[in-house]
Amino acid sequence: MNGLRARLDILRCWLQDRQPDVVGLQELKLEDAQFPHEAFRELGYRALTHGQKAWNGVAILSREPAVLTQCGLAGQEALGARLLEARIGELRFATVYCPNGRSVENPEFAQKLIWFDALIDWVSRQPRDDASVLCGDFNLCPTALDSWNEALLHGSIFHTDAERERFQRLLASGLRDLLRAHAPELRAFSWWDYRGGAFHKNEGLRIDLVLGSAAVAARLKSVRIDRDFRKKQQGFTPSDHAPVLAELS
């Protein structure tokens, strides 16, 4: 989101227009006490939050009551507020803001891989027959199809074999990439740099993902990246990420 304070108005527009039942938010950049609960309550949403001053932060919005089941990733607290899970009815719903890593030469890249190892371990210990969703900003392109220029960028951050191998291990733990389940060959992106006219040239990356268990994939009706809300709406400036919408029966 690049900060909830800066994106609150356009987020409210999106909620009013799209009317989702459950929403995962990432990169709040505010503490729990600063979260604008009333702004969402006016639209019919409850919120659970795992915030952090100036950095990171995740939240879950839901129309139905949500019961907190996991706040943070065990052993990875030093990397900040990056994971939140709740049970909403029969659905286990988690939102994640995975570490960026900055570059393959940066020490933060090794920390990113360790964080993913911890995420895979956590997911692998969950019941496989549950209806569960894991969504968020994964800060990696799962395959060459998810990058605007794989030939140029392969081996650089978001495009490394190490990141992609971990993503495949995540899927092997019992999850499916729901956009790929719905549209296996679609070339679509969810993030575009603000600079250089990247959005208008469609020089983007698909790094915002919705993963689901087999029970969720069986109910999947559609998945789409909401490009319209990467554009200005009613004069409000968007995030550099577009929302991803999954519809279940």
Kindly list the catalytic residues. 97, 137
Which backbone phi and psi does 220 adopt, to 5 degrees?
A: -70, 125
Give the distance, in angstroms, between the CA of residue 81 and the centroid of all CA atoms in the same chain: 14
Contacts of 101 (CB under 8 A, 6+ apart): 108, 109, 111, 112, 113, 139, 157, 158, 163
Question: What is the rounded distance in angstroms from the CA atom of residue 237 to the CA atom of residue 58?
Answer: 20
Helix, strand, or coil (residue 128): coil
Length of the chain counted residue by residue: 249
Answer whether 27's CB lies under 8 Å from 2's CB. Answer: yes
Q: Say how far apart CA 205 and CA 179 lie, in whole Å.
A: 14
Q: How far is 64 from 67, CA to CA, in rounded Å?
A: 10
SS3 155: coil
Distance between alpha carbon 120 and the CA centroid of its chain, in Å? Answer: 16
DSSP state of 79: G
Q: Which two tokens stand for residue 182?
A: 């719905």
